[in-house]
Amino acid sequence: MVAAYHAGDVKKAAAIHLKLLPLFKVLFITANPAPVKYALELIGRPVGRPRLPLVEPSASEKEQIKKVLKDLKLA
């Protein structure tokens, strides 16, 4: 997306942005960085659990993250 924008292809950058918008939204469904850490774990890049006072995403939130990653063919 950024490379397309810097190359002057704003239309392509916008299309990529729209495709990734569900990911951007789901990564902020609860206090960050918990959703990001969980998503990274799902794609094979475990970075550990959130430190207190933050907690892991709920089961429902985890399912939402999984669905978006699956829909985007990222996990």
Residue 20's pLDDT is 97
Question: Domain residues for 62?
Answer: 2-71
**According to the model, what pLDDT value does residue 33 have?**
95
Per-residue pLDDT tens listing for the chain (75 residues): 999 999 999 999 999 999 999 999 999 999 999 999 999 999 999 999 999 999 999 999 999 999 999 999 998
Between CA 41 and CA 44 the distance in angstroms is: 5
Number of structural domains the chain divides into? 1
Helix (H) or strand (E) holding 70: helix 59-71
pLDDT of residue 58: 98
The CA distance from 48 to 70, in Å, is: 21
